[in-house]
Structure 1
Amino acid sequence: MKNINTLSGLSVANFSKQIDGKETVLYTLCNKVGAELAITNYGAKIVSLMVPDKNGKMTDVVTGHNSIEEYLTSEEPYFGAICGRYGNRIAAGKFTIDGITYDKLAINNGPNSLHGGIKGFNAVVWDAKQIDEQTIELKYTSADGEEGFPGELKTTVTYHLTNENEVVISYQASTDKPTVLNLTNHSYFNLSGAGDPYIGDHILTINADYYLPTDNTAIPYGPKEKVEGTPMDFRTPHEVGERINDNFEQLIFGKGYDHTYILNKEDNELSYCARCSSPKTGIVMETYTTQPGVQLYTGNWMTGNFEGKNGQRYPERAALCLETQHFPDSPNKPEYPTTELRPGEVFQSTTIYKFSVE
C-alpha cells in the first residue's frame, strides 16, 4: 500500500494490518470545501476530522492514534468508535427478554457491562465500501451469542461528509432473535484542536430539561431529575469547566460529567441536541439526532500516558464526547424507551455533527 498521508498527517500504510483474518484500512472522505474525515474499518472509528477554524486554518477536532497498532494497545479503546451491541452500561451484565435471562455479558466496567463487552463493535473489523468521495458504508454481522447477546445482528453504519461540513452518521440493524441494541459513536472532540490540553473553556448548550442521575457505578438509579438549579444545567450556554469541580454528588462520582441527558424532542424526530464551541478557534459543533438522549462525557479518566496523533498527549479533560444514544441500562428499566429489537423490525437512527465558525 502506498505511504499516502492524510490532511491530518496520518500515514495510510500505518493502518494496514490483518486482524481476525480481515484487512484493516484507513479511508479518507473529502468534501468540496476542503474538510476531511478519516475512518478506519477497525471499530468503524473516526480517526481524524479536519475542519476550518475562524481564520481558515484546517484543524483536527478529534483525538486518535497514528496507527492500528496504537489503537490495539491504547488506554482508550473507544476513541472515535462505534460502540455496540450495547453502547453505555448494562447493570451487572444481565438482562431479561421474553422471560429468558441473559447473564453472560462481560463485566468490564466495575460491576457492569460497558459498550458491548470485551470485544464490542469497537474492536472488530467491519466490512467497508467507499461509496464515493464523501461517503463510506460499513457492515458487521454479530453472531448469535457474541459477547453474551442473543440473535445474529446485522448492522450497517454509514458516514457521509456533506459540503456543509456536516458529518452524518446513519445506523441500521436487524436481528433474527429478540435482542437489545444501543449504537453510538464515541468520538472525543476538542474544538481548539486535538492535542489542546483542556476543554473546560468550551461553551456548551444541551437541549434537555432533565438528566438521569446515577449511582457511583454510573448506572441510573431511577427517575429523571430536573437540571434546573444544578451544575447539570446546560439549557443556556456555559463553559464546560465552570461547575465541573462543584461539590455535587453526581460530578464527584465520575470526576466530572458522565451523564445521559433526556433531550427535549419527539420520538425518532431528527432535531437539535447540543451546541459546543471553542473561543480559541471559533469552531462551532452543532449536534442533531433521532435518539432520545445524549451522554456528555468530559474525558475524566484520560491520563495522557499514551501518545496520540502527531506526538499529542490527551490528559484528563482534554476532550469531550456527545454520544447520542438510548439510556444506560434500558434493558433493565421498562420505564425507559425500549432498546429491544425483534425479528422483522429494522432499527434506524441518524446523528449529525455540523461544523461552522463564529
Structure 2
Amino acid sequence: MAPVQLVTEDGLRVDDQELAPLVADIDTRRLLDLYEDLVVVRRIDSEATALQRQGELGLWAPLLGQEAAQVGSARALAEDDFVFASYREHGVAYCRGVDPTHMLRFWRGSTHSGWDPLQYRMTTPAIIVGCQALHATGYAMGAQLEGAAAATITYFGDGATSQGDISEAFGFAASFQAAVVFFCQNNQWAISEPVSLQTKVTIAERGRGFGIPSVRVDGNDVLAVLAATRAALAGAREGNGPMLIEAVTYRMGPHTTSDDPTRYRNSALDEEWKLKDPLDRIKKLLEREGVLDDTYLARVQAQADATAAELRRGCLETVEPTAMSLFDHVYADPHPLVDDERRQFETYLASFEGPTR
C-alpha cells in the first residue's frame, strides 16, 4: 500500500478524506512556520555535522532527509505529552524547545545527557536500539494508572523493528491498551542493511499483527505526518490504546558520521530520493500558492544561520568535564556504590602521577 500523502513531490495538494480535515487549521501563516522549522532543523544538522568533521564532536547522527517526519510529528504534540527519543530526533528536540547547543553536549562527551527531560517532556538520546519503546510503554501504562490525560510518543527506525524490545513494547501496549504512539521513521536503511532485509511486509503491517492500528504515511510530507500524528495522539488520549505510524522517508546521509554509505548504497537511489526532498516539496507548495517572496526567504535563512552560529559558539565554549565528573548526577541522592567507584577511580588516576621528589 502506498504511503498516504497530502502534498505531492511537485507541491500539489492531495485531498485525502481522512487526513486532510485534521490539518484544515494549517493556514498560510502556519505553513510558512512549518517551512521555517524545516529549514532551521536542516541547518542545525549540517552545522553539527561540520563540527564533528572538524573534531569538535565525537560523533553525530545526521537527520538529513528526515526533517518533515520529525517536524510534522513534533508539532502535533501537546505540552504535556512525553517524547521517548532514539538518537536522531534533533528536529523533535528543536520543536520541543530544547536549546540547540544543549543537543551537542552528549555528542561532545561533556555530560551524561544534555538537557532535563522533565523540563522539555522529552528524553535525551537513547543509544541502545529500541529500548526507548519499552520505556515509553511503561511510562504510558503508569500515566494511565494515575489517570493522566497526556499521551506518549516514541521514535525509532526501521532497523529497530528487528529488535526484541520493539516487539515486547508492541505486545505490552496492545495488551494493556497503553496510550503510546509508536513512530517509526522508515529511512530505508538500518546502517548498511536495507529495509527489505528487515521485513517482507510493511512495518505498518507488522504493527497490525500485534493488534495495533497502524497507518503508513509519506514521511517527507510534513502535512501528512502532522495529520497522522494528531489522529494517533488524540486516540491515545481518548483511551483507544496504542497506534503505529510508519513514516516512509529516506536517510540522505550516513547512519552516523562514522559511516560511509557509498560502500553499500547505490548513488542512483540517492538521486531518486532527492526529488522527494521534504523542504523542496513545501517550498513548491508555497510557490504555487503565491506566498513566497525574497524578504521571507532571506529572513528564514538568517534565522537558520543565526541558530547555527549560536550552536557553534555554544559548542566551542563548552567547559570540558574533568575525569571525576563522570560520577556526578548518576543518582539524585548520594549512593554508596557510586562513592566506592569514585574512590577506586581516584586511586587509579593517581597511579599515573608517579613518585614525587
The normalised TM-score by structure 2 is: 0.27
Larger radius of gyration: 2
Judging by fraction of residues, say which structure has more strand. 1
Q: Which has the higher contact order (CA 8 A, sep 6+)?
A: 2
The normalised TM-score by structure 1 is: 0.27
Judging by fraction of residues, say which structure has more helix. 2
